[in-house]
């Protein structure tokens, strides 16, 4: 059977949860025994989000193959429980870059290069390339909102694909908003009508409408929308606001959305097995206890910057049957005078990844507080580097210890740019991310890590070796390894050749661990990541 394509577009306004809707549809179709893949097309001109400011764009999600991608890919992995890769995310910038490279190479034989057909052809190739393993369904989410100038080439490409792939192989789902106007006590369908009309003016007739709403849409409203928007009367679905994002697959299933998709595309779908999703929802509502955890970072004003981290903590809560409450603390506001007021009544402290020196000293103080007061601590990437600096300064006595990132001339560069590795890495990374000039020096993607038994890491993973994803330039400086070991820091995760320290931890502490990689990218609601699971478990014992 040929792969069938489901295109998900959005109308009226942004942030309606298109990514989550696409991911939930994927999860439901997968639960029906279908082989599913999913892709995000982003209309912005950046080649990838790697260089974008987390304050503006939110998290950069890193895939196994080292691609820096949109955070929706994180949702895809968490809902579908299958790894995403570079091929699952294209931006306009990447499409244009590829077309311009071809033009410079002379591939177009002197022809005039235009949006139609050259850009649209490139987009169609990108879309078709994602279904490379005989998937039954490929779900393609188009970023942005219908009506944006930037999104037009993508919409034109998916319009053309219906003709090319055949009507029976293509389905358009449009997500809109049906606002409830309190003063009138009424649901308003006009924005949806306009948005569908806008889409039609580009030549796309939506097949299914998914209407985001505060309340369930009654049948008469659905019929009215169907009539005005020219869709089947049973092709209008409510996407009701949910308390937790993990309720969405069940909510859409109860609406009958996946069944309608299966019927319209004539998919060989079985009855879905939704036990796992039901279990997740049950556990969400029946925790046996509570735990409060501080995330001490710099990007706390835009929670999207810590998306995967936030979710990984929720997953760890689900597995430990604990409700996890998160308190985001801006590390720039932490001082020795006010630290206890920021961190009191919290059972765990997490310092996440980050770039640049802003707020670093506050993070180091929070780590000292966790270490000295015996509060479970989890440091991720920059968080681990800060834990190393804190230990060097306050336990070993290297008062000016620092990372070369923040003080290039520091006397004790305990975190440094590893020259030999840097060159080697530049070589392999140039191949891995040909288009990324700035990101070309980062260690990106999955690398093996050997786990030392009888450590916190060993207990968590129960494995000798794991693969974990990286996104950083600096490393622990092994020149100082003995100084650290003598004072009790344990290296519990190393690269197979032992040149790189991947995990550090402390004995004689309830739970204190830092890792150079980003475990949050591999957590999902079915299986919390082992390190998050153990961290939250330790925090839960602090009451």
Bridge partners of residue 20, in order along the sequence:
none
Q: Mutual orientation of helices 18-31 and 257-264 as an angle, nearest 10°?
A: 70
Residue 302 C-beta: closest distance to ligand GLN, Å: 16
Q: How far apart are CA 288 and CA 324, in angstroms?
A: 11
Please give the residue whose beta carbon sits closest to ligand GLN in the complex: 353
Q: Give 254: exposed, middle or buried? Use CB within 10 Å, 0-12, 13-18, 19+.
A: exposed
Count residues near ligand GLN (CB under 6 A): 11
Of residues 224 and 473, the one with the C-beta less far from ligand GLN: 473
Exactly one of 135, 310, 342, 381 is catalytic; which is it?
A: 381
**Cβ distance to ligand GLN smaller for residue 318 or 381:** 381
Geometric angle at alpha carbon 459, from 534 and 489, rounded to 5°:
90
The residue annotated as part of the active site, out of 247, 502, 520, 534, is 520
Is residue 133 within 8 Å of residue 37, measured between CB atoms? yes
Six-digit token pair at 511? 């739970």
Output 151 or 379, the one with its CB closest to ligand GLN.
Answer: 379
d(CA 305, CA 327): 14
User: Which of residues 479 and 507 has its CB atom nearest to ligand GLN in the complex?
Assistant: 479
Please tell me whether residue 60 adopts helix, strand or coil conformation: coil
Choice between 42 and 405, CB closer to ligand GLN: 405
User: Which residue among 354, 376, 519, 525 contacts ligand GLN (CB under 6 A)?
Assistant: 354
Closest by CA position to 210, among listed 18, 434, 442, 441:
18
3-state secondary structure of 50: helix
Q: Starting from the edge strand earliest in sequence, which strands make up the sheet with 512-515, in order? A: 322-330, 289-297, 348-351, 377-380, 512-515, 501-506, 489-494, 443-451, 465-472
Closest separation in Å from C-beta 436 to ligand GLN:
15
Residue among 316, 376, 360 nearest 513 (CA)? 376
- Report, in Å, the least distance between residue 385 CB and ligand GLN: 6
**515, 518, 529, 534: which is the annotated catalytic residue?**
518
Q: Which of 44, 108, 228, 355 binds ligand GLN (CB under 6 A)?
A: 355
SS3 for 422-486 is: HHHHHHHHHHHCCCCCCHHHCEEEEEEEEECCCCHHHHHHCCCEEEEEEEECCEECHHHHHHHHH
Secondary structure letter of residue 173 according to DSSP: E
Q: Specify the residue, 135 or 405, whose C-beta has the smaller distance to ligand GLN.
A: 405
* Least distance (Å) between residue 386 CB and ligand GLN: 9
Pick between residue 18 and residue 471 the one whose CB is nearest to ligand GLN.
Answer: 471
Touching ligand GLN, residues 375-414 (CB under 6 A): 381-382, 385, 405
Q: Which is nearer to ligand GLN, 61 or 474 (CB)?
A: 474
**d(C-alpha 116, C-alpha 153), whole Å:** 8
Closest approach of Cβ 405 to ligand GLN, in Å? 5
Provide φ and ψ at 448, rounded to 5°: -75, 150
The number of beta carbons lying within 10 Å of the beta carbon of residue 126 is: 20
- Cα-based distances in Å from 10 to 15, 62, 220, 234, 493: 9, 25, 23, 20, 44
Question: Which residues, numbered 173-232, are part of the site for ligand GLN (CB under 6 A)?
Answer: none
**Nearer CB in complex with ligand GLN: 280/442:** 442
381 is catalytic: yes
* Cβ 245 to ligand GLN shortest distance, Å: 24
Active site residue 75: no
Minimum CB separation of residue 409 from ligand GLN in Å reads 18
Pairwise CA distance, residues 195 & 110, whole Å: 39
The interface mask with ligand GLN, positions 308-347, x = CB under 6 A, is: ----------------------------------------
- In the bound complex, what is the minimum distance in angstroms from residue 357's beta carbon to ligand GLN? 9
* Binding segment (CB under 6 A) for ligand GLN, from list 101-109, 147-155, 221-229, 348-356: 348-356
Contact letters (x/-) for ligand GLN, 463-492, by CB under 6 A? Answer: --------xxxx------------------
**Smallest gap from residue 440 Cβ to ligand GLN (A):** 13
**Residue 412 annotated among the catalytic residues of the structure:** no
Which residues contribute to the site for ligand GLN (CB under 6 A)?
A: 353-355, 381-382, 385, 405, 471-474
Catalytic residues: 381, 518, 520
């Amino acid at each position: 059977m040929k792969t069938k394509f489901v295109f998900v577009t959005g109308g009226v306004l942004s942030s309606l949860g298109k990514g989550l809707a696409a991911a939930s549809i994927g999860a439901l179709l997968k639960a029906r025994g279908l082989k599913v893949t999913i892709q995000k097309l982003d209309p912005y001109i950046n080649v990838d989000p790697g260089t974008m400011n987390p304050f503006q764009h939110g998290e950069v999600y890193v895939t196994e193959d080292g691609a820096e991608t949109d955070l929706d890919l994180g949702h895809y992995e968490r809902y579908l429980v299958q790894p995403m890769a570079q091929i699952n995310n294209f931006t306009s910038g990447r499409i244009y870059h590829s077309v311009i490279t071809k033009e410079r190479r002379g591939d177009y034989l002197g022809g005039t290069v235009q949006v139609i057909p050259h850009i649209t052809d490139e987009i169609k190739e990108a879309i078709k390339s994602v279904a490379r393993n005989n998937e039954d369904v490929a779900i393609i989410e188009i970023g942005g909102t219908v009506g944006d100038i930037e999104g037009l080439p993508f919409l034109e490409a998916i319009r053309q694909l219906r003709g090319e792939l055949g009507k029976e192989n293509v389905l358009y789902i449009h997500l809109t908003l049906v606002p409830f106007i309190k003063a009138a006590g009424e649901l308003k369908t006009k924005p949806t009508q306009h948005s569908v009309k806008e889409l039609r003016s580009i030549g796309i007739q939506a097949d299914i409408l998914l209407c985001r709403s505060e309340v369930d849409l009654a049948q008469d409203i659905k019929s009215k929308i169907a009539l005005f928007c020219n869709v089947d009367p049973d092709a209008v679905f409510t996407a009701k606001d949910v308390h937790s994002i993990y309720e969405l697959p069940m909510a859409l299933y109860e609406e009958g959305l996946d069944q309608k998709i299966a019927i319209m595309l004539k998919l060989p779908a079985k009855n879905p097995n939704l036990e796992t999703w039901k279990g997740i929802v049950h556990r969400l509502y029946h925790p046996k206890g509570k735990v409060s955890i501080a995330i001490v970072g710099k990007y706390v004003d835009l929670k999207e910057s810590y998306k995967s981290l936030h979710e990984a903590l929720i997953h760890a809560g689900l597995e430990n049957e604990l409700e996890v409450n998160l308190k985001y603390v801006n590390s720039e506001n932490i001082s020795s005078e006010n630290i206890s007021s920021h961190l009191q009544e919290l059972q765990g402290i997490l310092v996440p990844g980050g770039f640049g020196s802003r707020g670093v000293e506050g993070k180091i103080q929070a780590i000292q507080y966790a270490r000295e007061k015996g509060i479970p601590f989890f440091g991720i990437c920059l968080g681990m580097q800060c834990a190393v600096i804190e230990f060097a300064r306050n336990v070993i006595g290297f008062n000016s210890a620092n990372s070369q990132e923040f003080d290039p001339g520091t006397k004790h560069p305990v975190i440094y740019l590893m020259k030999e590795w840097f060159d080697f890495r530049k070589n392999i990374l140039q191949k891995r991310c040909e288009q990324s000039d700035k990101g070309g020096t980062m260690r990106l993607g999955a690398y093996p890590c050997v786990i030392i038994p009888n450590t916190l890491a060993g207990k968590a993973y129960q494995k000798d070796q794991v693969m974990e994803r990286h996104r950083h330039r600096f490393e622990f400086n092994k020149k100082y390894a003995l100084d650290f070991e003598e004072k009790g820091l344990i290296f519990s995760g190393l690269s197979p050749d032992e040149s790189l320290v991947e995990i550090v931890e402390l004995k004689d502490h309830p739970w204190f661990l830092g890792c150079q990689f980003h475990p949050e990218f591999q957590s999902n609601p079915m299986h919390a990541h082992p390190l998050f699971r153990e961290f939250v478990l330790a925090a839960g014992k602090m009451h």
